[in-house]
Amino acid sequence: MQAQDPLAVIDPALIKQAVVALKNGDLVAIPTETVYGLAADASNPTAVKKIFTAKGRPADHPLIVHVAAPSANDDSAAQEAAWFNLLTPWVRDLSEDAMRLILAFWPGPLTLVFKKDKHVLSEVTGGQDTVAIRSPSHPIAQALLRELGGGLAAPSANRFGKVSPTRAADVRSEFDDLPALLVLDGGDCEVGIESTIVDMTSNPPVLLRPGAITPNQIQSRTGITVVGLDQRSNSGEDGVRPRVSGSLKAHYAPNTPMRMYAPGGLYDCLAEYPDIKSRVAVVMWESERAIGGQSNHMEWHEIAVPLSSEAFASGLYRLLRDLDDQAWDLILIPEPPTGQEWDGVRDRLQRACFGSGPSESNHVKS
Ligand code: TXA
Ligand code: MG
């Protein structure tokens, strides 16, 4: 992955510098294949607390622990034993189904929620008895995790509620008040939206956050059925929804007001803003472009995007950040097609639209 990207080339001296910083209790921003993460040594409570301060994130929102992957050269029995050893410090019980998912999708953009081992810090889990774990596939993240020899607690490297960064420069601008923050530059993130999260403590497993890996892909590669939150069985005594900050109605939000328009509904949508005469950015599917940049009361600027869920997701957050920097009065973006492969993108766009606009006027609290 990304081997052709010169920025993804591993610099051993920089990896060592990052390990020293992490062992010293400092934060380090790391590239992953999904989005950049703001990482701390998951065994150091003081370091983990720094993440919440830097992000402005509520302390009861749990973090994902990132772990190294075993060597890809091992056969599957050796891999299974190696994963088991790697996860023992974090996870209380590792089911057969969980191991099948791990062998099929790790390292990669899939996070699994387990019952936690008693040693896992409550700062990491937000006080819950479960822990979320993933092994990122980005080569720099893997090199760092191998050299560190432990787990990294890392949320997306953005201020709470804002658009996740998918390039190093976006991390730097997000945390411009932390000039000493070491940011490992791994180029543009390939997947572009955060990992799929599956809760393995429920039976059947529950999809907590849609991402690039869909329930259909999980079913066809492993035979395991993952259900939506709405289908979660009520047999458990808690019935409590796990806290997932990405599940807030407003999240991933640009500062510019943003709206989605239905297929064929662009003109109706534009007509809802009679007072805006220009400075409107209209995102359009590549295939539908060239319908013209003008209606009877407004001129707009067109941006073409690919009608492929993977390509669209890959560029989505860079697009939102670039449009935000260009100070439009309004961003209009097309509703994604139906189908599971678009669920991750649709989920992010709905929350981004809901939370969009200047922070004093949006709905982040809901
Ligand atoms: O792709 C990703 O997952 C990125 C990269 C950096 O790995 N990370 C990421 O982290 O998106 P964050 O903190 O922005 O989102 C993690 C989500 C949060 O919504 C959190 O609530 C949820 O994972 N989470 C963490 N631990 C959990 C747990 N024990 N139970 C349920 N949800 C959990
Ligand atoms: Mg996040």
Q: Structurally, how many domains does the chain consist of?
A: 2
Q: Whose CA is nearest to atom 6 of ligand 1?
A: 37
Statement to judge: residues 72 and 213 lie in one domain: yes
Ligand 1 atom at minimal distance to the Cα of residue 37: 6
Statement to judge: residues 64 and 131 lie in one domain: yes
CA nearest to 157, candidates 27, 42, 61: 27
Statement to judge: residues 203 and 271 lie in one domain: no
Residue 231: its pLDDT value, please? Answer: 76
Ligand 1 pocket residue status of 245, Cβ below 6 Å: yes
Query: What does pTM read for this prediction?
Result: 0.92
What span, in angstroms and rounded, lies between the C-alpha atoms of 291 and 287?
10
Statement to judge: residues 216 and 267 lie in one domain: no
Residue 237: its pLDDT value, please? Answer: 36
Residue 233: its pLDDT value, please? Answer: 60
Residue 5 lies inside a defined structural domain of this protein? no
Statement to judge: residues 202 and 301 lie in one domain: no
Residue 177 lies inside a defined structural domain of this protein? yes
Output the tens digit of pLDDT for each of the chain's 366 residues: 444 565 668 999 999 999 999 999 999 999 999 999 999 999 999 999 999 999 999 989 999 999 999 988 778 899 999 999 999 999 998 999 999 999 999 999 999 999 999 999 999 999 999 999 999 999 999 999 999 999 999 999 999 888 999 999 999 999 999 999 999 999 999 999 999 999 999 999 999 999 999 999 999 999 999 999 877 665 443 434 445 555 566 667 788 999 999 998 998 998 888 888 778 999 999 988 755 566 656 778 899 999 999 999 999 999 999 999 998 999 999 999 999 999 999 999 999 998 887 764 444 433
Residue 125 lies inside a defined structural domain of this protein? yes
In this structure, the strands spanning 152-153 and 196-199 are unpaired
C-alpha 11, offset from chain centre: 25
Statement to judge: residues 262 and 123 lie in one domain: no
Q: Whose CA is nearest to atom 13 of ligand 1?
A: 155
Q: How far is the CA of 290 from the centre of ligand 2 (A)?
A: 35
In this structure, the strands spanning 64-66 and 110-115 are unpaired
Statement to judge: residues 78 and 139 lie in one domain: yes
Ligand 1 atom at minimal distance to the Cα of residue 194: 1
Residue 270: its pLDDT value, please? Answer: 87
Residue 246: its pLDDT value, please? Answer: 58
Statement to judge: residues 264 and 191 lie in one domain: no
Ligand 1 pocket residue status of 124, Cβ below 6 Å: no
Q: How far is the CA of 111 from the centre of ligand 2 (A)?
A: 13
**CATH number, residue 271:** 3.40.50
Statement to judge: residues 218 and 264 lie in one domain: no
Q: How far is the CA of 352 from the centre of ligand 2 (A)?
A: 12
Residue 356: its pLDDT value, please? Answer: 84
**CATH number, residue 137:** 3.90.870.10
Residue 106 lies inside a defined structural domain of this protein? yes
Residue 70 lies inside a defined structural domain of this protein? yes
Q: How far is the CA of 272 from the centre of ligand 2 (A)?
A: 31
Residue 9: its pLDDT value, please? Answer: 82
Ligand 1 pocket residue status of 37, Cβ below 6 Å: yes
Pair 30, 184: CB distance under 8 Å: yes
Q: How far is the CA of 260 from the centre of ligand 2 (A)?
A: 22
Statement to judge: residues 274 and 216 lie in one domain: no
Residue 229: its pLDDT value, please? Answer: 84
Domain that holds residue 300: 258-355
Statement to judge: residues 141 and 263 lie in one domain: no
Statement to judge: residues 344 and 217 lie in one domain: no
Residues contacting residue 178 through CB under 8 Å, at least 6 positions apart = 27, 54
Q: How far is the CA of 358 from the centre of ligand 2 (A)?
A: 19
- SS3 per residue for the chain: CCCCCHHHCCCHHHHHHHHHHHHCCCCEEECCCCCCEEEEECCCHHHHHHHHHHHCCCCCCCCEEECCCCCCCCCHHHHHHHHHHHHCCCECCCCHHHHHHHHHHCCCCEEEEEEECCCCCHHHHCCCCEEEEECCCCHHHHHHHHHHCCCEECCECCCCCECCCCCHHHHHHHCCCCCCCEECCCCCCCCCCCCEEEECCCCCCEEEECCCCCHHHHHHHHCCCCEEHHHCCCCCCCCCCCCCHHHCCCCCECCCCEEEECCCCHHHHHHCCCCCCCCEEEEEEHHHCCCCCEECCEEEEEEEECCCHHHHHHHHHHHHHHHHHCCCCEEEEECCCCCHHHHHHHHHHHHHHHHCCCHHHCCCCC
Ligand nearest to the CA of 194: 1
Residues contacting residue 219 through CB under 8 Å, at least 6 positions apart = 225, 226
Ligand nearest to the CA of 163: 2
Residue 249 lies inside a defined structural domain of this protein? no
